[in-house]
Structure formats: C-alpha cells, structure tokens
Amino acid sequence: MLLIECPYCGKRPELEFSHGGQAHVARAKNPADVSAQEWTDFLYMRSNIKGVHAERWRHTHGCGRFFNALRDTTTDHFVATYKTGEPRPTIAGQAPGGAGSPGGAGSSGGAGVPSGAGSPRSPGPDPQVHS
C-alpha cells in the first residue's frame, strides 16, 4: 500500500487522500483585467510533465486539510510533502523552480496571470515509504 505523509498527521494510507491538481497556481488578483485567452489558460492549461511535479492534495478522510507534495510521475514516489503556503522544497538533482513549479519548466499561467513565488527550503528526510 502506498503511504502519503500528511504534514499535519503523519504517514497515512493513500485511500485517505484526494488529488487536488497542480500546486502553486495563483489566480489573477483582478480577473476582469486579463484577456479571455489568459483566463482560459489559467482555468484549463496545466503542465503535465514526466518527472517530479508539484501537486495539491487533501487529507479527505483525516484532518481535511490541503497540502502540497512533490511526486515523481514516472514512479508515483512522493519525494516531499509540505504545508500549503510554504515554498516548494529544493530536491537533489533539480534546480529551484523546476518543472511543475511557478516559473519552472512546463509552468503555465499565461501572461498577466501571476504564478506566485517563494524561496526554496531544504526538504529534510524522505517522507514517503512504499510498502
């Protein structure tokens, strides 16, 4: 069984969680000021990369809180989890702001739609265990 580490509750079975899409996607401060194409891109265009991707998750059958995770889409391995509002952790072998993060490779958001930012932090020990 796949275990996911909730940053609030600790390691729990995958069945307790629901996927919430790409992480670090910021809504325009004034949506009326962006073009129809920029708004469409914000609503529907997401990076779909092969490799480590920043995602939003919710501990639906636990604390109910949202959090972010770095997950490798090729192995389904969770590299790190971190609380919503915290910057994306830096992982070994990947430059800060990598794929699936604001301003990184594969980042969408369209011109005029801010993508947010934050300084990377150390991810600490690997929080994911496959059983």
Highest mean predicted confidence (pLDDT) among 4-8, 32-36, 46-50 = 4-8
Average pLDDT score over the chain: 78
Q: Which CATH class is domain 1-131?
A: alpha beta
Percent of the chain with pLDDT over 90: 55
Cβ count within 10 A of residue 130? 10
pLDDT reported for residue 100: 47
In the predicted model, is pLDDT for residue 97 greater than 60?
no
> Residue 3: what pLDDT?
95
Query: pLDDT value at position 113?
Result: 37
Q: Tell me how far CA of residue 72 lies from CA of 4, 13, 40, 100, in angstroms.
A: 13, 18, 27, 11
pLDDT score of 122: 36
| 110 SS3 class | coil
* pLDDT band, residue 49 (cuts 50/70/90): confident
> Buried b vs exposed e over 23-52: b needs ≥16 C-beta within 10 Å?
bbbeebeeeeebeeebbebbeeebbebeeb
User: In whole angstroms, how large is the CA radius of gyration of the chain?
Assistant: 15
What is the domain partition of the chain in residue ranges?
1-131
32 by DSSP, 3-state: which?
Answer: helix
Mean pLDDT of 117-130: 39
